[in-house]
A and B are shown apart, each in its own frame.
Chain A
């Protein structure tokens, strides 16, 4: 199951940005990869790439090609991500899991619309509305996407995590 990994990823990224790290790594799983890619799409991360135990060389990052994935090396693969800082402060300051393995939270479109507008949900689930600069990531049937994109595509799904400045 991916949800424990998502919770770990959230804590790890938050800790790494508190420690002002330039780049860090996460376990190479499909769920992690899709969350990290949508984080990068939202502008929280500078890059996401697959790599081995050692990070890719930052000097040649733009032309970096990860080694082909084989059954021999797949267990050693990690996802390397670059953290962003602006004005001496981390861009990604807070990140927390919404769904937990014990209680996965799924939301339908009306609830997502409320949250995306900044209002709290009312009813079955209790999710706070988004504040300024915050993002909520939803796992839908079309993959992991940001809540605003999910609302645009009129899809609900499993609410994974929220990230913000």
Chain B
């Protein structure tokens, strides 16, 4: 039994509209032979539903009775357990309002495999479909005004009363443990307690200031909240006010004491969150600018010169990243590129933590980069930019060649791609169903350089 059956008529109509076959939009003939539909002969002559007697009133009646039966008394009993009497009333009214025959004629029941298993469930709000109900009606803006003198005093008095909240809170907490109270009463006390706790928290923020001159100072402190644009002696805007109740304590100082004063400008805070590295670790990374280009945007007013910077970052232990950034200011571009390089750091597979696995060839634009693994002690035989990249990621033996274009930007990008996209020998072995043994670790008792 579908709990939400009363809604079926609404949706079934919608389905009927949605399921209409799409009419072909293009009627132009692209070739001279007859269209497939025209060529294909129907196997059966099409017969109308009326001729088959499907639309006769008896048939309609029969279908209606089979498919849209009213609720049985047992079902109503079950429903009563789930719905309040008001909801039940609405449910039955809805049932009475809809003629099942209309459902038969106008509605469409989906029996295809992709049908949704329910018609609709109004007990929950679907966040993407349903509009969120408004909790409060909007205030009447025509009646908004400032408090008068008397009202302001009354408001302060009421506020002062709230500061008795800690006592009320203690009393209510005592009541909650009282065994003589019934469950309903306890529920009510709990509700009140929540309110009082909020008041007590507010009062706590004002602790020690209430009732003396300090409290009044706080209330009458000139700030943007209460000065109403009054004339003043200074050109500076009035401050926002310190220790504002309800706000103080919520916002933290952006400088994290964990950084030990290394990042007072907050440059690395976002990176810290993204990468999980500490500021100390990020400062210890090898970060280098490898390519700088002056680029120009030709506008109708003239050229806008910018600096394009490509930086690399590596931890010297198998991680490397590149970052590129552009800015009108050189310093901004450099900083952005360095931060992006740290952010884009990827693992570089290394054989024996000193060279790569086999030979790798990558093409990036017109640049082809060939990297070859080399024995221990070979060193880094590569161009200057590659040398920096290998050193940054902790590769000590490698040979690199660029047989074609040596564009600085493309060569760095190609090298990064080659280093990060090496094939994993273990993966190859697993794919081929072979056992992999590194003979260098077998001979000489594994005592190799």
Contacts and interface: CB of A to CB of B under 8 A. Distances in A.
Q: Which A-B residue pairs are the 5 nearest by beta carbons?
A: A43-B432, A132-B358, A86-B431, A91-B431, A133-B428
Contacts, number: 35
B302 interface: no
Interface in B347-381: 357-359
Contacts of B423: 132-133, 165
Contacts of A132: 357-359, 423, 425, 428
B420 to A, nearest CB: 15
A36 B76 CA distance: 70
A84 B432 CA distance: 8
Interface string A30-46: 00000000000011100
B242 interface: no
B434 interface: yes
Contacts of A152: none
Interface string B406-437: 00000000000000000101011011111000
B431 A43 contact: yes
Interface residues on B, range: 10 to 19
A87 interface: yes
Given A85-B431, A91-B432, A131-B359, 18 more contacts: A43-B433, A44-B432, A84-B431, A86-B430, A86-B431, A89-B431, A91-B428, A91-B431, A131-B358, A132-B357, A132-B359, A132-B423, A132-B425, A132-B428, A133-B423, A133-B432, A165-B423, A165-B428
Contacts of A85: 431
A38 B359 CA distance: 25
Interface residues of A, number: 13
Contacts of A86: 427, 430-431
A9 to B, nearest CB: 19
Interface of A: 42-44, 84-87, 89, 91, 131-133, 165
A43 B430 CA distance: 10
Nearest to B424: A87
A46 to B, nearest CB: 9
Contacts of A84: 431-432
Contacts of B433: 43
B251 to A, nearest CB: 46
A133 B432 CA distance: 9
A132 B423 CA distance: 8
Contacts of B358: 131-133
Given A132-B423, A133-B425, A165 B431 contact: yes
A87 B359 contact: no
24 contacts: A42-B432, A43-B431, A43-B432, A43-B433, A43-B434, A44-B432, A84-B432, A85-B431, A89-B431, A91-B428, A91-B432, A131-B358, A131-B359, A132-B357, A132-B358, A132-B359, A132-B423, A132-B428, A133-B358, A133-B425, A133-B428, A165-B423, A165-B428, A165-B431
A165 B423 CA distance: 8
A93 to B, nearest CB: 9
A131 B360 CA distance: 9
